[in-house]
Structure 1
């Protein structure tokens, strides 16, 4: 079996595309509207601001 070498190119994904994907996935799981979830993700108000990510 012969493998062809493929060139790899780095693809950058915008923050808004990631937010839309997360909103869409969450909407499917919860039954809530995608627009409402996306609006909450883009909101500057954050819940649980005292929490940090584990390192």
Structure 2
């Protein structure tokens, strides 16, 4: 019997939360404050944003 795992990419919300929590650990700031800054675009580098995942539905197996 063959079982194939379906890989789901994290949502943009999950990525935002991960970035905020990681940054909070490094800086000592509150996660909620960092999330608000990321959502609001309040950045000293406005040209930089979170990466979007755009991959084909069927990627090559490794």
Shifted more, 42-51 versus 13-22: the winner is 42-51
Displaced runs of 4+ in structure 1, greater than 3 A?
44-47
Which TM-score applies when normalising by structure 1? 0.66
Partner of 1:15: 12
Question: Could you tell me how far apart the structure 1 residues matched to 2:22 and 2:29 are?
Answer: 10
* RMSD, aligned CA: 2.1
Count matched residues: 47
Any unmatched runs of 5+ in structure 2? 49-62
What is the CA-CA distance between 1:9 and the residue it aligns to? 1.1
Any unmatched runs of 5+ in structure 1? none
Deviations 1:5-44 (A, max 9, x none): 7523121211011000110000000000000000001114
Which TM-score applies when normalising by structure 2? 0.59
